[in-house]
Amino acid sequence: MKTMKTLSGVLLLSLMLADATLGDIQKRIIGGKDCNDKERLYHVRIEWLNGQGFHYQCGGSLISDQWVLTAAHCRPTENVIKKHQFVPHVYVVLGKHPGSGHVKGPVKIEATDTHVHPDQHDIMLLKLPESAKENTITPVNPPDCLTTPAKKRKTEDSGKTSELKLGDTVQIAGYGGTQADSDGNRVDVSTTLKCAEYEVVSCYNINIQQSIKKQHIFCTKRSKVDTCFGDSGGGVVFDGDQLYGVHQGGFLIACSSPGIVMDVCKYKDWIWKTTHIPTWEIKP
């Protein structure tokens, strides 16, 4: 397999979002399995540089050879930068999965532009300075927002919708905490990319911040499977390769409450107008 070209650089930050502790909203996979070597190659790690070296922060998805989709809260605020005393530079790292057999060391790509949703919703686009076509990574496919995703259903629904149905199975991936202790707190750290399947569930009666309720979200949960700190921004896919969500976060106690996901279909028009990626254009 061809070794990917290393592109080094820095993602310059604009610190616009409200302050929040990193533990409030970022999560990692618990109860999942190792992703196989042929899936989730588009998954990226987002790291910041502090005095002790790299510190892992978020996940993201390569949606074209020049664009990454992630969560807006993955960009540290000024207060967080001062508290943790790290250089306000963030690196987008490709090729961590499936590991050293895929590339030699981290592949760092400088994002020259940062685009947060104009209404400050928790979704963000990062533009790379040059094409990543020379890499061996294939971008994730966009969602089919004009028809009901019914490939894995026993019966096909009539009509058109941009939403997943309750009970649909989606997949999320990430690095980090993979176990919970006796009190339900997340522990341990994984060096391999973990994949886990979730069911789409109702967000009704879930204790969600008012600012998040005003955004376009859906919720996921599965018994004994959860996410933990670090997986925020990672892609939530349906049918293996269609990006229907960006993982926003959840709760501090493992497996206790549904996770919150930004509904990509509701933001597809903004993504298209920002990136002009042909496959993301909404056509009648």
Within-domain flag for 46: yes
> Which domain does 98 fall in, by range?
11-15+42-139+268-278
**What pLDDT, on a 0 to 100 scale, did the predictor assign at position 67?**
94
Tokens of 157: 């629904």
Structural domain tally of the chain? Answer: 1
**What pLDDT, on a 0 to 100 scale, did the predictor assign at position 262?**
94
Burial of 274 (0-12, 13-18, 19+ CB in 10 A): middle
- Three-state SS for 100? coil
Domain containing residue 67: CATH number: 2.40.10.10
Within-domain flag for 180: no
Tokens of 109: 């790509």
* Cis peptide, bond prior to residue 142, ω within 30 of zero: no
- Three-state SS for 129? coil
Within-domain flag for 196: no
Tokens of 190: 């994984």
Within-domain flag for 224: no
Residue numbers in the chain where pLDDT is lower than 50: 1-28, 100-104, 150-162, 178-187, 228-230, 251-255
Q: How far apart are CA 241 and CA 47, in angstroms?
A: 24
Residue appearing with tokens 């590991």: 99
Tokens of 140: 């994730």
Tokens of 254: 């493992």
- β-pairing, 242-249 vs 179-180, is unpaired
Q: pTM of this prediction?
A: 0.76
| Short-list 227, 263, 253, 282, CA closest to 71 | 263
* DSSP code at position 74: G
Within-domain flag for 82: yes
Q: How far apart are CA 161 and CA 192, in angstroms?
A: 35
Helices (H), 87-214: 210-213
* Structural contact between residues 27 and 251, judged by C-beta atoms closer than 8 angstroms: no
Within-domain flag for 63: yes
Hey, how many other C-beta atoms are within 10 angstroms of the C-beta on 92? 24
Query: Percentage helix, strand, coil, to 5, in the chain?
Result: 10, 35, 55
Q: How far apart are CA 248 and CA 212, in angstroms?
A: 9
Within-domain flag for 101: yes
Tokens of 164: 């997943």
| Short-list 205, 64, 224, CA closest to 141 | 64
pLDDT in tens, 222-260: 765 555 444 689 999 998 789 999 998 754 444 456 788
Within-domain flag for 241: no
